Amino acid sequence: MVVDGFFGDTGKGKVAAYLALADKPALCVRTGAPNAGHTVTLEGQQHVLRTLPTCFVNPGTKLAVAPGALIKIDVFLSEVERYGRGRSYVDFNTGVVEDIHVERERSDEFLMKVVGSTGQGVGAAMVDRVLRRLRLARDFEVLKPFLADVPAMIMENKRNGVVIEGTQGTFLSLYHGTYPYVTSRDVTASGILSEAGVGPKAVDEVVLVFKAFVTRVGGGPLPGELPPEEAERRGWVERGAVTGRPRRAAPFNMELAKRAVLLNTPTQIAITKIDAVFKEAAGKTRWEDLPPEARRWVEEVEEEMKVPVTLLGTGPEPHHMVDLRREKGRA
């Protein structure tokens, strides 16, 4: 399973896409909701997926949406048509965000102006789910061709490989994040497994994804936050995949990373955008080709976290990856 270690935007979509191509899993399951966009760059073109997993890059991988997830029907059908025809599934119990949820959320001044909600109706839909009045995928005729028992699919395909793609970031967790500046679900490893319908003993590997610097969209604390002009000077200016809002930026935070390790108990760590901090790392795929200062920094992170750092993103494409899993006994 793939989990975000910061505030979202760490590149877990790229990591999941790389795993899909490198490991050729039989099934990939997406958790979360359409307020989070996962980005994959293929041959220079960006693809932002809000519902289906980024494992679509492997045409042999089945794509499924978890029972604890939420979908917007139009977004789901659009992504099926573009990325997953003939191999896309949604669980019977997946919740559905409707127009009334979007209207309710966008009329909430606290959510929109203070917390910095994306206004996609996800929080309002989660409220209805807790109150047991949300309509589920099984209630919509248009979704009937895609309905499946996703927890059963996971166990049926386990021998041939399954990737569970988490959403958002550890410190946006409803329970473990910077409340009230959080999302409407638990997005740590435990919450992701619960959404997918998987018990912890079934999991072989938990990949915790960090970025070589920290970004955050919306309100809430960001330790070490840089002024916008300094972030621009460093080349760390980014925008949210769903809203297009500018992401606030800060240097890599070791204390936040340690806390994320404590909360998620990963078996390995991935770090993306190494090339944004160490320019000479761009496009490298071998450890020995990384600049010495990048290698020293990665070794320092590994020593502090006491978890092997196995995947290093060095560019936008999935294949821009240094894969150390075999050398570190995690393959």
pLDDT band at 239 (very low <50, low <70, confident <90, very high): confident
| In a domain? residue 255 | yes
Residue 179 pLDDT grade (very low, low, confident, very high; cuts 50, 70, 90): very high
> How buried is 243 (Cβ within 10 angstroms: 0-12 exposed, 13-18 middle, 19+ buried)?
middle
What 8-state DSSP symbol labels residue 281?
G
Q: Which residues pair with 211 in a beta bridge?
A: 272
Read off the CATH number of the domain in which 184 is found.
Answer: 3.40.440.10
Catalytic residues: 9, 38
Task: Give domain status of residue 328, yes or no.
Answer: no
Identify the pLDDT of residue 129: 97
Instruction: Report the number of distinct structural domains present in the chain.
Output: 1
Give CA–CA dist 93/136, Å, rounded: 6
**What is the 8-class DSSP label of residue 84?**
-
pLDDT for residue 244 is more than 90 = no
Q: Is residue 172 part of a domain?
A: yes
Look at residue 329 and tell me if it is in a domain: no
What does the block give as tokens for 156? 């049926």
8 Å CB contact between 272 and 246:
no
**What is the per-residue pLDDT for 218?**
83
pLDDT tens digits for range 38-76: 999 998 999 999 999 999 999 999 999 999 999 999 999
For residue 39, what are the domain limits?
2-323
Q: Distance between CA atoms of 312 and 215, rounded to whole angstroms?
A: 18
Q: Is the pLDDT of residue 36 over 80?
A: yes
Burial of 145 (0-12, 13-18, 19+ CB in 10 A): exposed
Q: Strands 45-49, 38-42: parallel, antiparallel or unpaired by DSSP?
A: antiparallel
pLDDT in tens, 279-326: 999 999 999 999 999 999 999 999 999 999 999 999 999 999 999 999
Q: Is residue 104 part of a domain?
A: yes
Q: What is the pLDDT of residue 237?
A: 87
Split at pLDDT 50, 70, 90, the class of 243 is: low
Is 331 part of any domain? no
Task: Write down the mean pLDDT value for the chain.
Answer: 95
pLDDT at 299 (0 to 100): 98
**Do the domain assignments include residue 38?**
yes
Read off the pTM: 0.95
Q: What is the pLDDT of residue 331?
A: 82
Residue with tokens 């959404």, as numbered in its chain? 195
Kindly tell me if the per-residue pLDDT of 3 is higher than 80. Answer: yes
Element holding 1 (H helix, E strand): none
Q: What is the mean pLDDT of residues 90-99?
A: 98
- Is 277 a member of any domain? yes
